[in-house]
Structure 1
């Protein structure tokens, strides 16, 4: 709970407050939700409320979760030290393991130091200012699940908001009657577009086993800059990539994956 009251508290509080204010507007205005309630049909309103609740819970889970911080030079899981692993992997095939210039820890492959968190993160994807946390090996799948749930909630909210727009005899009266709902509609619409773009980009990157950082900075990353433009040493095919990402919960030794790919080029 200590992390809640650090620098990310304001962002998280704003997200939560905005979510529930918009939800309250949708329930109180003359929308389909209000009409269902008045008729005593509570199933769909209850489902919508639970979906919003789930999105908020996932937001906090991803925001407060350890994204995969590199804690020490020792590799977990009984694999031995990084120095021992380095001696077992031919250096002609695998780029030399490097120490972080900031925290001085030896970085596993695909890790990167985050200037905001001031920590190295395993399979670093990006630092997300909206969750005030890095997205990395341990929370990336939950970040994508959160985006999917959030997109579903936003699209449903968009439909509900549109159902509550009431006609009027003049523009002035129309804006006065629908003012709060129009503000909610604008926020929902912009958020829907942003989240949809994030969902599409992350699902694409996951399907090819690439991170946002690797996609943007490919030409500067030691283990990728010498690969051909379409070559990715971590790509096992779309189905395998999706299965590994969503269903396999473990720390991956990417140096060994890279070595196998280099020894057995497709």
Structure 2
């Protein structure tokens, strides 16, 4: 399910991301870097591969930015927005001991691990965080793709660091600085984003391996189903099962089922 293309801040952020990505790419080709030298010699494989990776990262960015992160649908006639398979799983438990609550903002019945995002004005399933760089929430539907986007972006940035460094000779003259100011600025921007993306990727892989979210990790003391639970993480099924469920599950998950099985008492 895709979101309508929003205007305002979202468009500005996406335009800034796209402009920065392609602007830095152009700078790397206009200065005497390894990519420019390969292009001049007619060896186009690496330049084309680099451009393809940049294009892939931009496409992934727009997919993650514009897709439904897992919005909780309106529960008409008191029906939860869940798949048929999820409803069967819940029905097999017998009488549910997990009491779902109403959102205080949009008055929808929230599944476990959902949270209302005041920036998006929606309740999001398995809410992780609202990312200002993609102007969208990261939730149950787009979280795996968000991590894949970070991985591709990191590959592009690491390659770009090497390419930008290859064009810097650091001659102590004002003329050199005038001709290479854009390349030097691009190098500093690339290094900054490399550090940020690396930290994000490592932290999200760790959270996925533990089957927890940024919101749950940072705000455990404020979340009722974690604060009242004896287990530190009732959703943890081991690293391999957590990662398999996170990256390979093709449907929404009934977290109430796992919580009831792990904890065995009411929220």
Fold in common (TM above 0.5): yes
Provide the rounded CA distance (Å) in 2 between the counterparts of 1:227 and 1:233: 8
Q: Secondary structure of the equivalent of 1:245? A: helix
The answer as to whether partners of 1:59 and 1:131 remain within 8 angstroms in 2 is yes
Give the TM-score, by structure 2 length: 0.91
Counterpart residue number, 1:49: 51
1:133 aligns with 2:136: yes
Residue 24 of structure 1 corresponds to 26
Gaps of 5+ in 2: none
Structure 1 residue 87 displacement after superposition: 7.7
Correspondence 1:185-200 to 2 at 5 A = 185-200=187-202
Residues 121, 172 of structure 1: alpha-carbon distance in 2 compared, 3 angstrom cutoff: same
**Residue in structure 2 matched with residue 118 of structure 1 by the alignment:** 121
Is the aligned partner of 1:77 residue 2:83? yes
Contact 2:83 2:251 in 1 (8 A): no
Aligned residues: 257
* Cα distance in 2 for residues equivalent to 1:127 and 1:86: 33
User: What is the CA-CA distance between 1:85 and the residue it aligns to?
Assistant: 9.5
Distance 1:224 1:131 in 2: 28
Query: Deviation string for 1:190-224 (max 9, x for gaps)?
Result: 10011011001100000000000000100110110
Shift of 1:167: 4.1
Deviation at 1:247, TM superposition (A): 1.1
What pairs with 1:1-266 in structure 2 (closer than 5 Å)?
2-73=4-75, 74-75=79-80, 76-78=82-84, 88-90=95-97, 94=98, 96-168=99-171, 170-227=172-229, 231-263=232-264
On the 8 A contact 1:166/1:178 being kept in 2, the answer is no
Whole-angstrom CA distance in 2 between matches of 1:200 and 1:171: 40
- 1:5 is paired with a residue of what secondary structure? coil
RMSD between superposed Cα atoms in Å? 2.1
CA distance in 1, matches of 2:144, 2:8: 24
CA contact under 8 A between 1:98 and 1:107: conserved in structure 2?
yes
CA distance in 1 between counterparts of 2:218 and 2:92 reads: 28
Give SS of 1:223's match: helix
Give the CA deviation at 1:177. Answer: 2.8
8 A contact 2:33–2:166 mirrored in 1: yes
TM-aligned CA deviation for residue 263 of structure 1 = 3.6
Displacement, 1:80? 5.4
Residues 116-146 of structure 1: per-residue CA shift (max 9 Å, x gap): 0000000000000010000000000010000
Q: How many angstroms apart in 2 are the aligned matches of 1:80 and 1:255?
A: 11
Q: Name the SS of the counterpart of 1:27 in structure 2.
A: helix
> Secondary structure of the residue that 1:113 maps to in structure 2?
strand
| Shift, 1:226, TM fit | 2.7
| 1:103 and 1:119 in contact (8 A); partners too | yes
Deviations 1:87-138 (A, max 9, x none): 8212xxx3x2110000000000000000000000000000000100000000
SS of the aligned residue for 1:109 comes to coil
Bigger drift between 174-183 and 31-40 goes to 174-183
The TM-score normalised by the length of structure 1 is: 0.91
Structure 1, unmatched stretches of 5+, are: none
